[in-house]
Amino acid sequence: MISQFFFTYPPLVGLISFFIGWAAMPIVLKIAKAKHFVVKPNKRTSHKGEVPNIGGLDIFFSFMLTYMVFEYNHLQEYQFLLIGIFVIFLIGFVDDILDLTPLSKLLGEILAGVAMIGFSDIRISHLHGFLGIGEINVYLSYALSFFVLIAIINALNLIDGIDGLASGLGILYSLFFAFYFYLIGQREWMLMACALVGSLSVFFIYNVSGKKNKIFMGDSGSLLLGFVISCFVFHVCEINAYHQVPEAFHMRATPAVMICVLSVPLFDMARVALTRIKHHKSPFLPDRNHIHHLLLSTGLNHLQTTCVLLAVSVLFIALAIVGRNWSIWLLFGADLLLCTLLTYILWRVVDKKNKERIERGEAPTDNTQPPAADFDDDIAHISDINANHGAKSEHRSANLSTESEPAKQDKHINSRQL
């Protein structure tokens, strides 16, 4: 069979998906520019000019076409999974065009999850002995599966803030799963992961290297990516829970392994949400407190920041492989400790850079203010920080002397918060 040939040479599947995506990308760019599906520069972005934001369309097309061609014999078996992929892509695509509310997006994610969890029966049904619990009842299984699905989708959606980061992480995760599926002999899952690698690679090149033809992933791509990665996570957890893999490749701490692999987006999402809640803000309020924003504030550019986070992700994947047969608590604890340590070091670097900026009379980087803050708020914030550090700036003081103390305190936020 043709598919058996490509199972023997899995990189060829990725290449075919890559060539399909490469051929389709000029058409996607043409559609985006003709229909004005673009993002204009704003305070949350650093690009210049209008940039198309429907890169997910190219990812979806090349990924789905490649998989359906090589797995046509299994389409009926995975028909609801493919429907779920289509639904999540459609929700993201509509959001890219019309800007849906968070609730509408959440309902769309749940609808896509119904297709995968409810109808395809791809879900978490076993806790691998965590807290002494093995197989769980069906209601708890559905609840946990939906929670994990939404968490992973939104974690990868939120990490999509700079060039190449979400797609680079997606490529790295897909390679990890593709290699694992190859080792345990699960051909159809390996082909799916390889197809995703090829599709994401095309987008990565255009997103990072494109000048006149630069394109953004958009929610159509990031939601799709999170959905497929969640599918891989569920499947790996299940086959390990019921020992459906060769003993040599069985992972006793599978839930912790999956968390460890996805540490960068998951920990960043949890940290940012908790920080906002701690300071009495909505966890949905946008700011510049994400891990990539912190790295950018140290002076790194987009590509350097992406490379750093990809290298850190490789470190976490290595930890996951080494600790795959540790206890779940031990591996999870090691992962959490490493995440916390790296974040602490990064904040110390950010603080040092901010002190250097203040000494030069420049404004420190504010990673907690909402990006929509107006110019007057920015000036007030700068003045308040300079006053606290003993900065002598008569010009600023004169301009801001009429501002009330409560307003100043509200605008001043400590850059060292975690």
* Tokens 């992480």 sit on residue: 169
CA-based nearest residue to 367, from 308, 283, 297:
297
* Tokens 């990490």 sit on residue: 159
| Section 265-274 average pLDDT | 94
Kindly state the percentage of the chain with pLDDT values over 90.
68
Give the distance, in angstroms, between the CA of residue 408 and the centroid of all CA atoms in the same chain: 35
Task: List for the chain the helix, strand, coil content (%; round to 5).
Answer: 70, 0, 30
Residue 307: pLDDT over 60: yes
CA distance 51 to 36: 9
CA distance 213 to 292: 24
- Strand partners for 294: none
Count CB atoms within 10 A of the CB of residue 399.
13
Please, are residues 62 and 17 in contact by the beta-carbon 8 Å criterion? yes
**Mean pLDDT lowest for which of 231-245, 267-281, 333-347?**
267-281
Residue 179: pLDDT over 70: yes
Residue 8 has a pLDDT of: 72
CA distance 52 to 39: 6
CA-based nearest residue to 63, from 209, 193, 220, 185:
193
**Three-state secondary structure call for residue 51:** strand
CA-based nearest residue to 314, from 171, 124, 154:
171
The pLDDT tens digits of the residues spanning 350-403 come to 999 888 888 887 776 666 555 443 333 333 333 443 444 444 344 444 443 444
Please, are residues 229 and 173 in contact by the beta-carbon 8 Å criterion? yes
CA distance 258 to 269: 16
Residue 139: pLDDT over 60: yes
Q: Is 243 exposed, middle or buried (0-12, 13-18, 19+ CB in 10 A)?
A: exposed
CA distance 414 to 59: 40
User: Chain-wide mean pLDDT for the chain?
Assistant: 86
Residue 390 has a pLDDT of: 44
Banded model confidence at residue 411, pLDDT cuts 50, 70, 90? very low
Kindly state the percentage of the chain with pLDDT values over 70.
83
- Strand partners for 126: 135
* Tokens 């979806």 sit on residue: 60
The pLDDT tens digits of the residues spanning 24-77 come to 999 999 999 999 999 877 555 555 678 999 999 999 999 999 999 888 888 888
CA-based nearest residue to 188, from 145, 231, 144:
231
Residue 225 has a pLDDT of: 98
The pLDDT tens digits of the residues spanning 227-258 come to 999 999 999 999 999 999 999 999 999 999 99
CA distance 265 to 165: 10
Torsions phi, psi for 126 (to 5 deg): -145, 140
